[in-house]
Amino acid sequence: MVSHGLFLILVMIAIVGSTNIVNARCKGTCDRLTLPYPFGFSDGCPIRLNCSMSGLPMIGDFSVKNLTVDSIFVALTHNCNRTIEDMKPLFGELYAPSLENAFLMENCTRRPTDGCSIKPTFLESQLQMKSCETKGNIRCFSLDKNTTKFFTMEDLRQSSCRLLFSSLTFESVALNAGVAVEFERVRLGWWLKGDCREENCSEKNAVCSQVVTPDGSSGHRCSCPESYEGDGFISSCRKGQCGLTSNRSCSDVEDEDTGLDMVGFYWSLTMTYVIVCTGFLVLLCFESPPRQAWFSLVDNFIHLVKRTLRYA
């Protein structure tokens, strides 16, 4: 009876242990860099990036240069071998190029109808970017602002161009301070699934922004008001020292503050465990078919283990 009880406890520990591994939380560190939630490098992160050998966050083969409350900035160095299909990794489940981009394309079959066109000599002399063809203009491919908020792969495919040479992105620097244009960057808008009406950003003192995702479903983003820090998702906004502007992930800070929550969590875990064990033992105290089936199962298992150990 004692060995059976012991066996039961071991089984329970194994089950509890394995569920803990499944619920592993988001790890935001890659080498010396720490990203704010919901970005990170482990399974628990909603927006999962890859950590390169050189310690840079990556989306596919593109390196991530900056993260802001609404955008991911990705490097897109000029390259004459890049086809439209090579852009696929940037169209993720929870991010996509936003309309503040213009893609520089070459080898187009149709004349550009909208967007701009740039003479290759301009890129070469002003920006030291060698264009792919010496004749013909480089087309900037952009979309109408009021149709949608994001590019889709289909938009790029319909451009009639074969090569995606580089990209430029627009960013308003500050109110009334003009717009900055960055070459060789793509700006991706990001979101998490769910409507602002269902999500509880306000519980974290954060502001919820509704996002209409490229597939038409609803998304949202939580962000902290200006001069507050935190991610607004899992850590509350506060006047503190964590988040986008600091090396410190807010989830690390949160852990220290919420020791009480963890105690509560372990308590409930222990109580569940005790209740389940008691229930099981009570069941075994009565002479019943389940009891016999259980004991024979356990005996068989113990024999199997003993045999295996003997031959090992």
Ligand X SMILES: *[C@@H]1O[C@H](CO)[C@@H](O)[C@H](O)[C@H]1NC(C)=O
Compare residues 16 and 80 and give the one whose CB is closer to ligand X.
80
According to CB under 6 A, which one of 8, 56, 80, 276 is a site residue for ligand X? 80
Asked whether the beta carbons of 87 and 59 are under 8 A apart, the reply is: no
Cα 180 vs. chain centroid, distance in angstroms?
27
Closest CA to 115 of 78, 64, 74, 156: 156
Amino acid identity, position 202: S
Does position 68 interact with ligand X (CB under 6 A)? The reply is yes
- Nearest distance in Å: CB 146, ligand X: 4
Using CB under 6 A, which of the segments 13-21, 55-63, 114-122, 281-289 binds ligand X?
55-63
Does position 107 interact with ligand X (CB under 6 A)? The reply is yes
- Nearest distance in Å: CB 147, ligand X: 5
Compare residues 140 and 164 and give the one whose CB is closer to ligand X.
164
All residues at 6 or more sequence positions from 266 whose CB lies less than 8 Å from its CB, including other chains: none
Query: 179-183 and 161-172 as β-strands: parallel, antiparallel, unpaired?
Result: antiparallel
All residues at 6 or more sequence positions from 64 whose CB lies less than 8 Å from its CB, including other chains: 49, 56, 57, 58, 72, 73, 74, 75
Does position 59 interact with ligand X (CB under 6 A)? The reply is yes
Q: Total residues at the site for ligand X (CB under 6 A)?
A: 25
End-to-end CA distance of the chain: 27
Residues 131-190 that bind ligand X (CB under 6 A): 132-133, 144, 146-147, 163
- Nearest distance in Å: CB 24, ligand X: 17
Residues that bind ligand X (CB under 6 A): 32, 49-50, 58-60, 66, 68, 79-81, 89, 107, 132-133, 144, 146-147, 163, 197-198, 200, 203, 246-247
